[in-house]
Amino acid sequence: MKKVLFLLPILAITLTGCFNTKTDELTEKSISCTLSTNDVVNGYQLNSTYKINYTGDFVKSVETEEVVTSENETIIDTFEETLNNTYKKTNEAYGGYDYKVTRETGKVTSKVFIDYSKMNLEQFIKDQPSLSSYSKDNKLLVEGIKQMYTSLGAKCE
């Protein structure tokens, strides 16, 4: 009987450890990346933040905020039009995008939430062959997406 009582705490600790591993794999975590570009030649500054939300090894969603500033309103016009068209067409083709582009004098801001569970990710990866190295089983790998942002010059934490 004493042996059983002695083993119960050890068994409880061991089982708790096993369950925590499973729970950790299901717990949503995030990585934040930032990117700043000052294009003196074309006359604009771009500041971007990316929040990669993931569980285990796979990305669940990405939240992006991009702010473009310029004294040249023609540049702001171009960015506003390009951002709206890009997000609209991508959402129509694959789904999963929730976005808002706002405009102020000398500034355009886009806020985008991409929910990969609502996206036709298989088709998206097929149409973007470079993403195949960042995916597994038609899911995007968090390390791959982090690497992609880093290769663009972003700093991720």
**CA pair distance 67, 84, nearest whole angstrom:** 14
**pTM here?**
0.81
For the stretch 88-98, pLDDT in tens is 999 999 999 99
DSSP 8-state symbol, 141: B
Question: 9 and 128 in contact (C-beta within 8 Å)?
Answer: no
**CA pair distance 26, 93, nearest whole angstrom:** 29
pLDDT of residue 17: 45
Question: 125 and 144 in contact (C-beta within 8 Å)?
Answer: no
For domain 28-156, say whether CATH 3.30.1830.10 is its number: yes
**CA pair distance 116, 102, nearest whole angstrom:** 24
For the stretch 129-153, pLDDT in tens is 988 899 999 899 999 999 999 999 9
